[in-house]
Amino acid sequence: MVLLGALFGLGTAWAEGLGEVGKADAAAHNDTEKKETKKSRFTIGGYGEAVYSRNFYSDSYLRYTSADAHKDEKHSRFDLPHVVLMLGYDFGKGWSFGTEIEFEHGGTESAIEIEEEEGGEYESEIERGGEVALEQFWIQKSFCPQFNIRLGHIIVPVGATNAHHLPTEFFGVYRPEGENTIFPCTWHETGVSLWGQTGDWRYEALLIAGLDSERFGRKGWIHDGSASPYEFKIANSLAGAFRIDNYSIKGLRLSVSGYAGNSFHNTLKTPSSSYDNVKGTVLIGAFDFHFDRWNWVARGNFDYGHLSDSDVITAYNMDGTNTSPSPKQSVGSAALAAGIEVGYNIFSQINKLHQQGQKFYLFGRYDYYDSMYDTAPSIVDFQYCGRHRVAVGVNYYPIKDIVLKGEYSIGLLKSRYNNEPSLSFGVAYAGLFNM
């Protein structure tokens, strides 16, 4: 159970695994227990998603600027959003290792896309140095359940989705759209984490590399600021993050999380001395909850972020050279995302299926998010960056670790734009392959 909690770090397995941290060393003094421990020292697991979407709206780069001309267009897509391999090893005496290798959208992180800012030209986009993403790589020392140190490349648990990003931990075919738009998702950085649990409380505090303001944009706010196009991550500025979870009420988790760090000077090219007082401070506050009881599951989140000096960052990025990794877009001084989903397990009322462990959830979800929720006076507010989204669908679990999903959703934009309805289907798994 130690490695179950470790590998799934910030997933639902924390609640099950944390109580076992520290027990392995005590058991090692018993020969029988020692043999049992050796059998489960190496753990392999993972998760993955395959998706088909029929989108009843245009995918043209001009669909917002020329909405009427693209009103009746449609498109479809197959996708592999995330396929992840998790490996872990328990060295004993409180030392453990974990890593998570992610193959996103098929496994390579260079892609061809149409650039809105350059007349719709095709452009090769390098999202992160390397062909696959190393999402986690850390060494951990566990002293007791209340105190553990993790060093290396780790998940930043700000917001609900970053902390609980396995496909069995949300109802939608894709990850919740609001947080997945304005935050890096899954957010991972190199640094140090202190975490532990005592009673009904769990805490985590992190010191990590700061974001890079050169990669901020209007539709994703700071989303791309954690990625690095280089073979290293710039750390001219460090940042802090935290998360606190409470489990006092049966079946309910209440959580708050946050982030603070400067971003403007965290770039490869050093700005001139005239920018010495520009910080580009990113502040994020988030609340989320999870309720699972009486065959109901409900989840929700509220996230608010602020960026100082957004007008200066916008001007600086737009003035960059054509070879700059910046998208050269305006960026908002504040972003917001809020969402709630509720589902009921119908199979709980069918004894035979319930006894077999099968579940069939009917669910509904509502989101509102805006990557330009507030803007500096000199910044144009692109109003299509704010939208409501409503979704209804089903999740069928034939067994605990596999889920088949179906969903109808619609993005509701302001009247000058076209709404964005979509029908999506997916299959996903999340689990350990051996213990």
Q: State yes or no: pLDDT of 103 exceeds 90.
A: no
Residues 364 and 338: their CA atoms lie apart, in Å, by 14
pLDDT of 2 higher than 60: no
At residue 276, the pLDDT reads 86
Q: Which residues contact 270 (CB under 8 A, 6 or more apart)?
A: none
Residue ranges covered by each domain of the chain: 2-434
Residue with tokens 């392995």: 24
* CA–CA separation, 234 and 192 (whole Å): 16
CB-based contacts of 35, cutoff 8 Å, min separation 6: none
From residue 394, how far is each of 295, 349, 366 by CA, in Å? 14, 16, 15
Which pLDDT does position 330 carry in this prediction?
Answer: 93
pLDDT of 274 above 70: yes
pLDDT of residue 409: 97
**How high is the pLDDT of residue 123?**
58
Q: How far is CA 196 from CA 63, 141, 149, 185, in A?
A: 48, 11, 9, 23
Give the C-alpha separation, 8 to 1, whole Å.
Answer: 11
Spatial separation of the C-alpha atoms in residues 307 and 376, rounded to whole Å: 10
For residues 250 and 166, what is the distance between their CA atoms, to the nearest angstrom? 22
Mean pLDDT of the chain: 86
- Please say if the pLDDT value at position 14 is more than 80: no
Closest to 155 in 3D by CA, of 202, 193, 101, 210: 193
Enter the pTM of the model.
Answer: 0.86
Terminal CA-to-CA distance of the chain, rounded, Å?
A: 9
Name the token pair of 75: 């498109």
Lowest mean pLDDT of 5-14, 178-187, 207-216, name the range: 5-14
Over residues 102-118, the mean pLDDT reads: 62
Taking alpha carbons only, the member of 251, 334, 257 closest to residue 288 is 257
> What does 122-159 look like in DSSP terms, one character per residue?
EEEEE-SSSSSEEEEEEEEEEEETTEEEEEEEEE---S
Q: How confident is the model at residue 412 (pLDDT cuts 50, 70, 90)?
A: very high
| Amino acid at position 246, single letter | N
> Do you know the residue count of the chain?
435
Render pLDDT for 276-315 as a digit per residue (tens, 0 to 9): 899 999 999 999 999 999 999 999 999 999 999 999 999 9
52-95 pLDDT tens trace: 999 999 998 889 988 888 998 999 999 999 899 999 999 999 99
- The answer, yes or no, to whether the previous bond of 186 is cis (omega within 30 of 0) is yes
Task: State the residue for tokens 């999506």.
Answer: 424
What residues are paired with 154 via a beta bridge? 189
The domain 2-434: what is its CATH number? 2.40.160.10
Instruction: Give 35: exposed, middle or buried? Use CB within 10 Å, 0-12, 13-18, 19+.
Output: exposed
Give the single-character DSSP code of 325: S
Q: Could you tell me which residues come within 8 angstroms of residue 261 by beta carbon, excluding any fewer than 6 positions away? A: 208, 210, 211, 237, 238, 239, 240, 281, 282
The Cα 316–Cα 213 span in angstroms is 10
- Please state which of the ranges 23-27, 213-217, 260-264 shows the lowest mean pLDDT: 23-27
Instruction: Please say if the pLDDT value at position 20 is more than 80.
Output: no
Give the angle subtended at the CA of 215 by the CAs of 213 and 216, to the nearest 5°.
70
The pLDDT of residue 390: 98
Which candidate, 386, 283, 371, places its Cα nearest to that of 329?
Answer: 371
Model pLDDT for residues 415-434, shown as the tens digit of each residue: 899 999 999 999 999 998 86
The DSSP element (H or E) to which 378 belongs, if any, is none
**Weakest-pLDDT range from 29-43, 248-262, 388-402:** 29-43
Burial class (CB in 10 A: 0-12, 13-18, 19+), 174: buried
